[in-house]
Amino acid sequence: MQTPRWLKNVFTFYRDGFKNMTVGKTLWAIVIIKLFIMFVVLKVFFFPNFLNSKFATDREKAEFVSSELIDRSTVNPSNFDKDN
Amino acid sequence: MELLSTSLVDWSRAQFALTAMYHWLFVPLTPGLGVIQAILETIYVKTGKEEWKKAAKFWMTIFGINFAIGVATGIILEFQFGTNWSNYSYFVGDIFGAPLAIEGIVAFFMEATFISIMFFGWNKVSKGVHLAATWLTITGATLSALWILVANAWMQLPIGMEFNPLTARNEMVDFWAIISSPVAINKFFHAVISGWIQGSLFVIGISAWYILKKREIDFAKKSIRIAAIFGTISTVLIIATGHGSAQQVSYHQPMKLAVMEGLYEGQEGAPLIAMGIVNPKKESYKDDKEGVIMAMRLPKMLSWIAFGDADHYVPGIRNIIEGGYTKPDGTVALSFEEKQKMGQTAQIALSNFKKAEAAKDTAAMAEHKAVLDANYKNFGYGYLTSPEQSIPNVPLVFYSFHLMVILGGAFLLIFIVAMYMEWKDMLSKYNWLLWIFILFIPLGYLAGQLGWIVAEVGRQPWTIQDILPVQAAISGLQTSSVVITFVLFAVLFTGLLIAEIGIMVKQIKKGPKIENQLSETKDSVR
């Protein structure tokens, strides 16, 4: 089957555009390095999702967050003692 | 569980502030420079004159550098939500997630589709198609700002949701209320227009450098002409949206307004402080010392700006804490203690609801839910132990606000001077003025940062106004891990900023005679 003409034109458009970049090549390199650092290094090693790493279900997460919201209240006497 | 350590809260806040402030160094030039390049290209398409095309292509190259370096820097903030602010993130997930998802799907793909035509399409598509792609790219970039600002505005004025104690989440019940929030609309225009001003200052400053170097004079003058007109219009518009912001704050965040003005004691016909010094001897909101000394006051202006009535009562910090005054909606303001009691009552109701849920006692659940709902609007006050915790940092917010306003006035003056000097063809005669134009590039960035300090520090301690303070929103992490990631971000963003400045300076030195190297192809004109 023959490749449609419009598809060829789109491919040529992008191929030529990328091929003839000069500043753009440097920028693309920076973008790729930046995204690698962000998603592969920072996200994986330093920014795990706190709740996802501890709990498997939404139910468990809801229970945990509820307990956090309740336990950090100043109604809890231990909190009053600590700050006052 | 006990309250988390102060250092963990502070480091988490510092980390978020660092990344948000760096992010806002990259962002504002995009909408500003984008509109200016689109105007230049529009003139080219209308007149057919190549010099306008040359100008449009040069600024498009600078736009591309800024866009590429800055893109996705905001995602870091989302990483932090999941790790450092997990209680907050879960608590608001449904509300915050929707606008951000829309941003990703609609605006990002809109930009991604048309930006390639904008950069690669010169001489490949018709002038009209290329111009349309340019405007659509700028529209997409601007819409990206809309959705994140809708999310931010919701934190300042939480509406259109209902708290579900079963899921521990605020669930969206009225999407339209969230996106049409008056705070969101005003915030969107205020932030985007500040970007337009930044773009205008940038173009004028760089063009002034060319005139100083006696290079590209015609290009520089044309760029200054467009940027000065656009900057003047933008500054007038930002005064209007700034007025709108003040009105929104006065109704929904009166503490922020009082702190912006260092106003401790409320009064009718309150004056606006043009300049002044925060009194370092003021030790408590309760003492009788003046909040601001050596102040130059504009009579009744604060009342007029905030409420459109020169004699309207504006509450001070002390009044907001003590309550008892009549609010704009006619109700009587609650004191801190009353709000704290409501917050604690709501939190006890939540606790009782969870116990009833465990016991499968549906009648008790409904009863506790009703108590929770009735007190929910002040839920967050149950986490505060003293009235002082509800007061943001007065000196930081006061000076940020006043310096921002002073800079705004200076920008208007600069734009008018630039417009006049270009019109009279006198730009080349005053080198000192050209240096001032260059100096105003960083001042534009400074004004943007100050604006965000007012907006965000001014609403402390709240992550969600009156609902969730920072100490309840953060994850129970080790402080040391937050410090490590703070340093990593500082290094990463500083590296990106140095790269951006380096590439931009190199490109600016080459000048507009060099054809747009982001886009130019070796193909002949079709």
Q: Percent of chain A, pLDDT > 70?
A: 88
A43 contacts B79? CB cut-off 8 A: yes
Q: Are B154 and B91 in contact (CB under 8 A)?
A: no
B83 contacts A48? CB cut-off 8 A: yes
Q: Closest residue of B to A46, CA-based? A: B485
A23 contacts B518? CB cut-off 8 A: yes
- Does residue B435 have a pLDDT over 70? yes
Question: Which of B61, B80, B522 lies nearest to residue A20, judging by beta carbons?
Answer: B522
B503 contacts A82? CB cut-off 8 A: no
Cα Rg of chain B (Å, integer): 25
What is the spatial distance between Cα B80 and Cα A49, in angstroms, rounded to a whole number? 9
- Does residue B250 have a pLDDT over 80? yes
DSSP lists the bridge partners of residue B272 as B298
- pLDDT, one tens digit per residue, over A37-77 is 888 888 888 888 899 999 999 999 999 999 999 999 988 65
Q: Helix, strand, or coil here: B487? A: helix
- Does residue B100 have a pLDDT over 80? no
B507 contacts A23? CB cut-off 8 A: yes
- Does residue B312 have a pLDDT over 80? yes
Q: Closest residue of A to B384, CA-based? A: A74
Helix and strand numbers (H, E) in chain A are: 5, 0
- The whole-number pLDDT of residue B451 equals 97
Q: Closest residue of B to A72, CA-based? A: B3
A73 contacts B347? CB cut-off 8 A: yes
Mean pLDDT of the A15-20 span:
84
- The whole-number pLDDT of residue B294 equals 94
**Phi, psi (rounded to 5 degrees) for A2:** -80, 140
Mean pLDDT of the B274-281 span:
95
A49 contacts B86? CB cut-off 8 A: yes
What is the spatial distance between Cα B265 and Cα B278, in angstroms, rounded to a whole number? 14
Mean pLDDT of the B492-510 span:
92
- Does residue B307 have a pLDDT over 90? yes
Question: Which of A20, A37, A51 lies nearest to residue B90, judging by beta carbons?
Answer: A51
What is the spatial distance between Cα B45 and Cα B39, in angstroms, rounded to a whole number? 10
A24 contacts B517? CB cut-off 8 A: yes
User: Structural domain boundaries of chain B?
Assistant: 10-257+393-448+476-510
- pLDDT, one tens digit per residue, over A30-44 is 888 888 888 888 888
Contacts with A71 from chain B: Cβ below 8 Å: 1
Residue B69 CA neighbour count, 13 Å, CB half: 29
- The whole-number pLDDT of residue B181 equals 94
Contacts with B69 from chain A: Cβ below 8 Å: 27, 30-31, 34
Question: Which of B472, B507, B522 lies nearest to residue A69, judging by beta carbons?
Answer: B472
Contacts with B348 from chain A: Cβ below 8 Å: 73, 75
What is the spatial distance between Cα B468 and Cα B459, in angstroms, rounded to a whole number? 11
- The whole-number pLDDT of residue A77 equals 52
What is the spatial distance between Cα A63 and Cα A69, in angstroms, rounded to a whole number? 10
Chain A interface mutation, best of B22, B71, B83, B169, highest count of A Cβ atoms under 10 Å: B83
> Judged by CB atoms within 8 Å, which residues 2-61 of A form the interface with B?
13-14, 16-24, 26-28, 30-31, 34-35, 37-38, 42-43, 46-52, 58, 61
What is the spatial distance between Cα B72 and Cα B200, in angstroms, rounded to a whole number? 24
* Cα–Cα nearest to B449, from B198, B242, B199, B240: B198
Q: Are B25 and B497 in contact (CB under 8 A)?
A: yes
DSSP lists the bridge partners of residue B297 as B273
Mean pLDDT of the B101-115 span:
74
- Does residue B63 have a pLDDT over 80? yes
What is the spatial distance between Cα B389 and Cα B392, in angstroms, rounded to a whole number? 8
Q: Helix, strand, or coil here: A49? A: coil
- The whole-number pLDDT of residue A78 equals 57
Mean pLDDT of the A17-28 span:
82
DSSP assignments along B148-183, one per residue: HHHHHHHHHS--SEEEETTTTEEEES-HHHHHT-HH
- Does residue B198 have a pLDDT over 60? yes
Chain B interface mutation, best of A10, A34, A45, A58, highest count of B Cβ atoms under 10 Å: A34
Contacts with B387 from chain A: Cβ below 8 Å: none
Amino acid at B56: A
- Here the contacts of B287-295 (C-beta below 8 Å, separation 24 or greater) are B290/B264, B291/B262, B291/B263, B291/B264, B291/B265, B291/B316, B291/B317, B291/B394, B292/B261, B292/B262, B292/B398
- The whole-number pLDDT of residue B192 equals 97
Amino acid at B315: P
Mean pLDDT of the B134-141 span:
92
Mean pLDDT of the B250-263 span:
97
Q: Closest residue of A to B85, CA-based? A: A50
Question: Any residues with CB less than 8 A from the CB of B103 and at least 6 apart, and which?
Answer: B143, B144, B146, B147, B148
Confidence of residue A82 (pLDDT cuts 50, 70, 90): very low
- The whole-number pLDDT of residue B520 equals 44
Confidence of residue B241 (pLDDT cuts 50, 70, 90): very high
Question: Which of B3, B168, B518 lies nearest to residue A72, judging by beta carbons?
Answer: B3
DSSP lists the bridge partners of residue B293 as B277
ipTM of the complex: 0.83
Confidence of residue B147 (pLDDT cuts 50, 70, 90): confident
In B71-107, alpha helices (H): 75-83, 86-102
- Computed over every residue of chain B, the mean pLDDT equals 92
Q: Closest residue of A to B81, CA-based? A: A49
- The whole-number pLDDT of residue A79 equals 53
Q: Among B18-32, B100-114, B465-479, name the one with the lowest average pLDDT.
A: B100-114
